């Protein structure tokens, strides 16, 4: 079973936030875990979904 890794743009679209916010989060150690693949950052959808679930209700 193969799952396509998400780009930072895919993640921004999914969360409805700007890409620059995701870059800021990464420097602060916040947000879903990203994996560096060469010079690119990629996200596993299951990691993103788990992180969103951990955020709880506001």
pLDDT of residue 56: 77
Domain extent, residue 43, equals 8-55
pLDDT of residue 57: 60
Cβ contact 12:22 at 8 Å: yes
Domain count for the chain, please give it. 1
20 burial level (CB within 10 Å; 0-12, 13-18, 19+) = exposed
1 falls within a domain: no
Max intra-chain CA distance, the chain: 36
pLDDT of residue 2: 64
Q: Which residue numbers in the chain have pLDDT < 50?
A: none
Q: State the Cα–Cα distance between residues 17 and 28, nearest whole angstrom.
A: 16
35 falls within a domain: yes
pLDDT of residue 3: 83
């Amino acid at each position: 079973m193969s799952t396509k890794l998400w780009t930072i743009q895919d993640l921004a679209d999914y969360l409805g936030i700007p890409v620059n916010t995701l870059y800021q989060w990464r420097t602060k150690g916040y947000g879903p875990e990203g994996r560096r693949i060469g010079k690119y950052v990629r996200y596993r959808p299951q990691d993103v979904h788990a992180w969103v679930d951990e955020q709880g209700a506001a």
